[in-house]
Chains A and B, each alone.
Chain A
Amino acid sequence: MAGGRFKKKGKNKIQAISTASLPDIVFMLLFFFMVTTVMKQDDLKVSIHAPKATEVKKLENKSLVSYIYIGKPTQTRIYGDVTQIQLNDAFADPDQIREFIAAERETMDEADQSKMTVSLKVDGKTEMGIVTDVKQQLRRASALKINYSTLKGDPLGGR
């Protein structure tokens, strides 16, 4: 009977959505984040409020970038409040920069060594003296490509 057939279809229960493809979707997301993720490099021991600038360029290829941090220590009670240079995870003297650059070069492919960039993350209130010292050391180590790390914004407006 025709009516019976329709009746059978008519009493439909709410179908559960198949979750079989859920793992696939999650895996897709997982791979995306695995590929794009960059592990946090260093623990900052100095506080840095980077200055603002408008003419900024993005740093490409993070594996070719080494960081030098300059600022006042976050734990002033332990380390005092004199401006310090931080390389890797420790405070350093300007003299140690050449060693640091050499060590950073070691970790790169030979072909990439010439493309090495040093990013200076410097607190805005720092005096230029220490920055100049660092720059001189970088010149000695012939790490000439540098980047003054800045935030985006008008440098003249925020004061």
Chain B
Amino acid sequence: MAKREIQEINAGSMADIAFLLLIFFLVTTTMDTDSGIVRKLPPMPEENTQQDDVQIKERNIFVVLVNRDNQLLVEGELMNIKDLREATKEFIINPTDDPDLPAKEIKEFPIVGPMEVTAKHVISLRNDRGTSYETYIAVQNELAAAYNELRDEYSLRKWGKKFDDLEADLQEVVEDIYPMKISEAEPKNVGG
């Protein structure tokens, strides 16, 4: 026949090429997402401005010191890190209206209305240069856990859901009720 058919390109090897690329990306891919404890550092104070110490009442401040032997001194007493979470929670909510724990006051919140909270509490964390990073993270973790547990407990009581499952606007309200106030002191040696 004089009429020539247009030759088709053999696509049989297409699969092989694609497989080759696929294997390359399979090998180079890293699926693991990095995770960790998120914190915000306070901005650096300006060099020439006078640092005026904000006066915080003794009862409103929760002092956590970690020395270079990785021991904890909480409010002047030696404490095992296992007890830190409970102690922190008690400090934040002050369930018995203890005059040594932070003052409670009634505050107006959106959606849930007025509530009695310890609005002025501050957790002050200070560590020595010799403290191990592991211990520091463990302490940070326990403090964060105390807040997260309180938020979860409140959310469960109020809406029957955990904090993470709430809608974004409700989460904001709960965060307002239990605001994470962890302050890290300007570095200096605590000794030990």
Q: Are A147 and B37 in contact (CB under 8 A)?
A: yes
Closest to B80 in A: A156
Chain A residues lying within 8 Å of B82, measured Cβ to Cβ, are 156
Distance to closest chain B CB from A62 (angstroms): 8
- B 4-47 to A, binary, CB cutoff 8 A, 1 in contact else 0: 00000001001100110110011011110111111111111000
Judged by a CB distance under 8 angstroms, whether B88 is at the interface is no
Judged by a CB distance under 8 angstroms, whether A56 is at the interface is yes
Q: Are A58 and B145 in contact (CB under 8 A)?
A: no
- In terms of DSSP, what is the predominant structure of the interface of chain A? mixed
Judged by a CB distance under 8 angstroms, whether A125 is at the interface is yes
Q: Which of B51-59, B97-105, B125-133 contacts A (4 or more CB under 8 A)?
A: B125-133
Q: Are A125 and B133 in contact (CB under 8 A)?
A: yes
Distance to closest chain B CB from A154 (angstroms): 9
Chain B residues lying within 8 Å of A156, measured Cβ to Cβ, are 81-82, 138
Chain A residues lying within 8 Å of B127, measured Cβ to Cβ, are 128, 132
Residue with the greatest number of chain B CB neighbours at <10 A, chosen from A29, A55, A117, A155: A55
Q: Are A33 and B44 in contact (CB under 8 A)?
A: no
Q: Are B35 and A57 in contact (CB under 8 A)?
A: yes
Judged by a CB distance under 8 angstroms, whether A39 is at the interface is yes
Known: A57-B38, A65-B34. A127 touches B141 (CB 8 A): no
Judged by a CB distance under 8 angstroms, whether A23 is at the interface is yes
- Choose one: B22, B28, B36, B40; the contact of A26 (CB below 8 Å): B22
Distance to closest chain B CB from A151 (angstroms): 8
Interface residues of A in 137-159 (CB under 8 A from B): 138-140, 142, 144-150, 152, 155-156, 159
Judged by a CB distance under 8 angstroms, whether A105 is at the interface is no
Count class of interface residues, chain B: 35 or more
Give the complex CA separation of A129 and B131 in angstroms: 8
- A 33-46 to B, binary, CB cutoff 8 A, 1 in contact else 0: 11011111000000
Q: Are B22 and A30 in contact (CB under 8 A)?
A: yes
Closest to A119 in B: B34
Chain B residues lying within 8 Å of A126, measured Cβ to Cβ, are 132-133
Interface residues of B in 111-137 (CB under 8 A from A): 127-134, 136-137
Q: Are A55 and B34 in contact (CB under 8 A)?
A: no
- A 13-34 to B, binary, CB cutoff 8 A, 1 in contact else 0: 0000001001100110110011
Q: Are A149 and B22 in contact (CB under 8 A)?
A: no
Q: Are B81 and A144 in contact (CB under 8 A)?
A: no
Chain A residues lying within 8 Å of B40, measured Cβ to Cβ, are 144-146
Give the complex CA separation of A26 and B14 in angstroms: 10
Q: Are B36 and A119 in contact (CB under 8 A)?
A: yes
Q: Are B29 and A149 in contact (CB under 8 A)?
A: no
Give the complex CA separation of A110 and B132 in angstroms: 37
Residue with the greatest number of chain A CB neighbours at <10 A, chosen from B11, B42, B141, B145: B141
3 closest residue pairs by CB, A with B: A129-B129, A33-B25, A124-B134
Interfacial residues, chain B to chain A (CB-CB below 8 A): 11, 14-15, 18-19, 21-22, 25-26, 28-31, 33-44, 68, 81-82, 127-134, 136-138, 140-142, 144-145, 148, 187
7 contacts between A and B (CB under 8 A): A23-B11, A26-B18, A59-B35, A62-B33, A119-B36, A127-B130, A132-B129
